[in-house]
Homo-oligomer: A and B are copies of this chain.
Amino acid sequence: MIVALAGGVGSARFLSGLLDVVRPADVVVVGNTGDDDWFHGLRVCPDLDSVTYTLAGANNPETGWGLAGETFTTLDALRRYGVPTWFNLGDRDLATHIFRTERLRAGVPLSTVTGEITAAWGLECALVPMSDDDVRTIVTASTPDGEVDFALEEWFVRERCEPPVVSVRYDGAAAARPAPGVLDAIARADAVVICPANPILSIAPILAVPGIRDAVAAHPRVVGVSNLIAGAAVKGPADRMLADLGIEASCVGVAAGYRDLCAAFVIDDEDASRAAEVEALGVRTVVTNTLMTDRSVAAALARETLAAVA
């Protein structure tokens, strides 16, 4: 059984490869919920939905978010009411948020609703939110008006990642409990994979839920995958924001953040020259192609990732 800690789009792409090389029923994905937010009174879970839609083969590969062939009729109609519509919510995607919100308001935990959603999309692996409790990733960034706290999607989408990051915190994490089954799955897993994802925005919130970091640290076969290639993020602001936070924006910097968790770490061929530095952190290093241009590359990457801790 494999546990995978996952963020959004990049993680989802990796997971689609993973499910090609291991039995889907043997995979438990623990998803980040730090950027979950309310839009128009609806609960939106961007990372959980990216994983669900991608694994269902329904994601939009061009935008990197949302569903393929999506329309935006309701969002356009909402503009009439003068509400902020900077967060793109497609008509079909809205059905997910409407369903989830109704269930949550009925008192059903997020982990249960997430299971209902993934079942409706035919997912064969388990997708579990890191916690049923609210955790909010807050990006404190420097603006012309001074330092401002942004919810993650505000900074990411509305502000287009432009305000330089001063610090990141995870509001609510200290009081959050891991979702049912998360700690047990980690303890029983044959391997724990940290998917390629922004370490500060996608993986750190998961690890900030009390109990999860300790469970991962206690596991002997944890393998991480770098989300950076030659110091640059394939998608998203990871490189610049890491630099803003004083972390080296490279596979070495990312590996350093995971050194007390990972037995092995996977870096890209383009970073082969940095392998010795990663090894020097005490982490077995695998060098391979991590640029998941298609599903067969993702599957090969997943195979090599698992082999590193076999």
Contact = CB atoms under 8 A, between A and B. Distances in A.
Interface in A245-276: none
A117 interface: yes
B98 A42 contact: yes
A9 B120 CA distance: 37
Interface stretch (A78-86, A174-182, A225-233): A78-86
Interface residues of A, number: 29
Interface in A63-94: 71, 73-78, 80-83, 91-94
- Ranked nearest first, the 6 interchain pairs of A and B with the lowest CB-CB distance are A41-B102, A77-B95, A73-B91, A77-B92, A81-B99, A78-B95
Given A80-B120, A82-B120, A117-B81, A40 B91 contact: no
A83 B93 CA distance: 15
A129 B151 CA distance: 36
Contacts of A83: 99, 102
Contact of A71 (B71, B78, B102, B116): B71
A117 to B, nearest CB: 7
Given A74-B95, A77-B96, 14 more contacts: A41-B98, A41-B102, A41-B105, A74-B92, A74-B94, A75-B95, A77-B93, A77-B95, A80-B120, A81-B116, A81-B117, A82-B120, A83-B99, A91-B91
A130 B237 CA distance: 52
The CB with the most chain B CB atoms within 10 A, among A75, A81, A91, A92, is that of A81
A41 to B, nearest CB: 3
Contacts of A117: 81
Interface of A: 40-42, 71, 73-78, 80-83, 91-96, 98-99, 101-102, 105, 116-117, 120-121
Contacts of A116: 81
A99 B105 CA distance: 17
Nearest to A92: B77
A199 B94 CA distance: 37
B101 A77 contact: no
A73 to B, nearest CB: 4
A99 B74 CA distance: 11
Contacts of A121: 80
B92 A73 contact: yes
Nearest to A90: B73
Contacts of A78: 95, 98-99
A83 B103 CA distance: 11
Which has the most chain B C-beta neighbours within 10 Å: A77, A80, A116, A121? A77
19 contacts: A40-B98, A40-B99, A40-B102, A41-B98, A41-B101, A74-B91, A74-B92, A74-B95, A74-B98, A75-B95, A77-B95, A78-B98, A78-B99, A80-B120, A81-B116, A81-B120, A82-B120, A83-B102, A94-B94
